[in-house]
Amino acid sequence: MSTGLRNCSFLCLFKLCSWSWTCLFLNGGDKSKMASEVVIRRAQQSDYNDVVYGIGDVFNGRDYLKTKYLELLEDPDVLPFVAEMGDEIVGFYCGQLVDNRRTLVKRAGRVKEGYRGKGIFFMLNNTIEFEAAKEGTVMVGAMACKKDNAERVSNGFAERKGFRLNIHLKVYSIKFERSKVPTVDPSTYQNVHEMTLTEVEELFNDEVTWNRLLHHERICVHYVPLRRVKENIRHVINHRTKAFMSFGPSDVNDAGAPLDRKVQNATMLSTIHFFKTNLGLGFNSDFYGADLQDLESHLQMHFRHISEAEDATISWVVNIDVNLDSKVRERLKQSLSAYGIQLTQNPNVQEEYIFERRFSPPRASDERGTLNTHLP
Ligand SMILES: *[C@@H]1O[C@H](CO)[C@@H](O)[C@H](O)[C@H]1NC(C)=O
Ligand SMILES: *[C@@H]1O[C@H](CO)[C@@H](O)[C@H](O)[C@H]1NC(C)=O
């Protein structure tokens, strides 16, 4: 997302009082008179159309902002900003504070085509960082990025910038018509159930079980990494997210199902998260456990949830920890094919990385631009 931010020539006037960046940038080759003013300000609900339709989809049809924009704006832990030039909104980016406001995760960044490479993203980013620093609680900055970006980023950049790779996921993107998915027989797997809020709370209270199930000490919902901090519970169970836990290997019938279904005895955990996209209803599934031995049970629960959707087209993303991927790929393939879905239908298996580093408030100057902090 930061492509094109280098080599931009602009002059910024940073207004401390209003927390907005006013920037005069000199368009492309014509460095004469064509200077336009960019203002960064807090995003409003009334900016919805300009942000969602004006800037356009940035995740190849799987953009979630259309669905989540208002929710993000209503969340007191989200710091959303737009970049405005004249009457036009040309950029959006938001910071989300998780882990009881100790971690800043930046999301949904975008700059309108034709305005990229001019430092707008840089200004949005800096505004989020300044605002987050004002909270006085933020210790960690986390970012998720796709493999293509990560390779560029990890090419020495991540290390130089002090980033550590935390989570590395294989991302299987599957698109199908819901009507083609056979109805799931709920009695097939008796070792798995949807977690109640109380059970999710128990999980957050139980360090031993948490560490046993989660490889990175974090649970990831829609690529937002969440630590075992009770303020994060609302991100794991809500109107868009369900969690499931299981007890022992899949395909356990009634007779074989364990009676003791306490959180402390869970052997696997998963979450499913949904949001509307231009490609149909989007689902994201994540799985946790030592070796994903109960994977089939969880997939079945996710399928059941997906089959209750009203949308015709489903865009499903299955995230698997890279370290477990080769062990479970064949089983994933088989499970899906039982539902008439070929894993090979989309050979473009992506990878997602989540980095984190110690949060340090932004400096007034940066390698990608010169900031003039003197007010005129
Ligand atoms: C459940 O977990 C507890 C704590 O680890 C253990 O003492 C108990 O034996 C387990 N029960 C079963 C049925 O595995
Ligand atoms: C965002 O700002 C921070 C603090 O100035 C900086 O370290 C980071 O590289 C910036 N990120 C991007 C994507 O520009």
pLDDT tens digits, residue range 10-24?
333 333 333 444 444
371 lies in some domain: no
Same domain, 112 and 229: no
Checking DSSP bridges between strand 103-111 and strand 140-146, what pairing results, if any?
Answer: parallel
* 126 Cα to the center of ligand 2, angstroms: 7
Same domain, 170 and 134: no
Q: Which atom of ligand 2 lies nearest, measured to the CA of 126? A: 2
Bigger pLDDT: 152 vs 124: 124
252 lies in some domain: yes
Same domain, 51 and 175: no
84 lies in some domain: yes
Nearest protein Cα to ligand 1, atom 5: 264
Same domain, 351 and 284: yes
Q: Which atom of ligand 2 lies nearest, measured to the CA of 360? A: 4
On whether the CB atoms of residues 105 and 225 are closer than 8 A, the answer is yes
Q: Can you give the CATH number for the domain in which 103 is found?
A: 3.40.630.30
Q: How many CB atoms lie within 10 A of CB 242?
A: 19
Q: Can you give the CATH number for the domain in which 322 is found?
A: 3.40.630
State which residues form the domain around 208. 166-355
Same domain, 172 and 134: no
3 lines ligand 1 (CB under 6 A): no
Q: Which of these three, 122, 138, 154, is where a domain ends?
A: 138
pLDDT of residue 1: 37
260 lines ligand 1 (CB under 6 A): yes
Same domain, 182 and 132: no
Residue 139, pLDDT above cutoff 80: yes
244 lies in some domain: yes
Average pLDDT of the residues in 139-163: 73
Over 22-88, what HEC string results?
EEEEECCCCCCCCEEEEEEEECCHHHHHHHHHHHCCCCCCCCCHHHHHHHHHHCCCEEEEEEEECCE
Nearest protein Cα to ligand 1, atom 4: 264
Same domain, 58 and 180: no
Tens of pLDDT, residues 304-357: 999 888 889 999 999 999 999 999 999 999 988 888 888 765 556 788 989 899
Residue 100, pLDDT above cutoff 60: yes
Same domain, 36 and 176: no
Nearest in space to 336 (alpha carbons), one of 169, 187, 173, 213 = 173
Same domain, 123 and 245: no
Q: What is the DSSP track for 311-358?
A: -SEEEEEEEEEHHHHHHHHHHHHHHHHHTT--GGG----EEEEEEEEE
* 94 Cα to the center of ligand 1, angstroms: 43
Spatial separation of the C-alpha atoms in residues 265 and 255, rounded to whole Å: 18
What is the number of domains present in the chain?
Answer: 2
214 lies in some domain: yes
Q: Which atom of ligand 1 lies nearest, measured to the CA of 259? A: 13
